[in-house]
Amino acid sequence: MLKTDGDFLLRITEPNPGQPRSLVVSVCDPRDNPRHFVIQTDGGLCFIEPHQKHPDVINLVRAYHRITLGGTVLLKTPIHRQSWELNHDDIECTKKIGEGAFGEVSLGRLNVKGEKIEVAIKLAKLESLTKEQIKEIMLEARLMRMFDHPNVVKLYGVAAGQEPLMLVMELADKGALDSYLQKNTLSNEKKIEMCAQASYGVEYLHHMNVLHCDIAARNCLYGNGKVKISDFGLTREGQTYEMLPTKRVPIRWLAPETMVYYIYNQKTDIYSFGILCWEIWHNGNEPYPGMTIAEVHSKVKEGFRMILPPNIPNNVRIVILNCWGLPDKRWSANEVAKKFEEISGLKMPEYVTLEEKKKQQQQLLTTTSNGPSKRKKSKTSRESRDSVEQQEGDEKPQRNKNSAG
């Protein structure tokens, strides 16, 4: 976000138990990029350097347009609030619907240019979380901002200006897919459609160079007739990811090579997608029924695969078995999605490719650095890096009990 000498923004520090959060100026300094200066107060005046006190933050910032901050850098170009940075005043929580990994989940409304839309809201009381947990939340939010696909849950934005931290997301009115499957009797055609929609979401994530690492019915939502991939707590950018052996992971959904080497890649995601399809055809039942975790761990590594139900169409059976093949023989997400498109007759949604997104992002940065423009806002103009510190972490798998992801 801070790209050019003198680019700056105002942000607040991450919380520490028992300590107030402070306002910080972050500025791009080519000699030491970026630099962060805490704004302090004394007798109603604010300052960064004791010899430069000002009546308010606005006057402080104006002063450092003319004199160097820290003796090296001027505040030249402000980086304004991004569209995904929400105000708490625009968010209304209406009903608690569950508990997530780091706090409660509520139904609510988001005020968007005077129009209120129904949303799902994850709330986190940051003072009760560790630094590592805060890193995980912000990593999940940063990744979700990239996504724009009908089969992936949409993030509207993050409200981080005060407590509690809020992640505001698209509402899927039917809730978690596993619960929906358990409560409803579905035709084969509907199950094929669900498998197809889930495959389109996974194909999109892989195209975006993202590994979900926890594909399962409990981590999908269902709303408006669409399956939506959700719960990105374990999600990582890149082609491979190595999980720490000490982390708790969902054994029943893991590929055998992940059990052995703790490695995730696109092929391990596809194996887990095959388990998701099994769940869809078994009405949301838990995989490997009648087997303990230890038995699953042992037998899957030896080559055991679950039996598919007799009512499953042969062409769907072939897809699932190819998801469970050896890694070098396993189908890619694109192959799976194209096959389900053929089987279901449900057209794969069009989306902005990763290359197009990068091009649009670069154009946006160029436009911003050159001043205001009348050019039409692109689909991806809401994307940028967090104005809070970007940090990563690993998340213990959680059952999705809400309609937010």
d(CA 213, CA 314): 28
The CA-based diameter of the chain, rounded to the nearest angstrom, is 80
Tokens in use for 389? Answer: 């510190």
The one catalytic residue in 7, 29, 178, 214 is 214
Tokens in use for 265? Answer: 């890649």
3-state secondary structure of 160: coil
Q: Which amino acid is at 42?
A: D
d(CA 5, CA 29): 6
Nearest CA among 36, 341, 317, 42 for reference residue 199: 341
d(CA 333, CA 286): 23
Q: Is 214 labeled as catalytic in the residue annotation?
A: yes
| Cβ contacts of 195 within 8 Å, gap of 6 or more | 276, 277, 280, 316, 319, 340, 344
Compute the residue count for the chain. Answer: 405
3-state secondary structure of 156: strand
**Spatial contact of 307 and 316, defined as CB atoms under 8 Å apart:** no
Q: Torsion angle, CA of 234/81/381/164, rounded to 10 degrees? A: 30
Tokens in use for 106? Answer: 């509520």
**Spatial contact of 28 and 7, defined as CB atoms under 8 Å apart:** yes
Q: Is 185 exposed, middle or buried (0-12, 13-18, 19+ CB in 10 A)?
A: exposed
Tokens in use for 291? Answer: 């087997």
Task: Transcribe 92-120 into DSSP letters.
Answer: EEEEEEEE-SSSEEEEEEEEETTEEEEEE
| Cβ contacts of 53 within 8 Å, gap of 6 or more | 42, 45, 46, 47
Q: How far is CA 371 from CA 26, 76, 112, 375, in A?
A: 20, 13, 25, 12
Q: How far is CA 326 from CA 251, 272, 321, in A?
A: 18, 13, 10
* Enclosing H/E stretch for 365: helix 354-369
Catalytic residue numbers, as ranges: 214
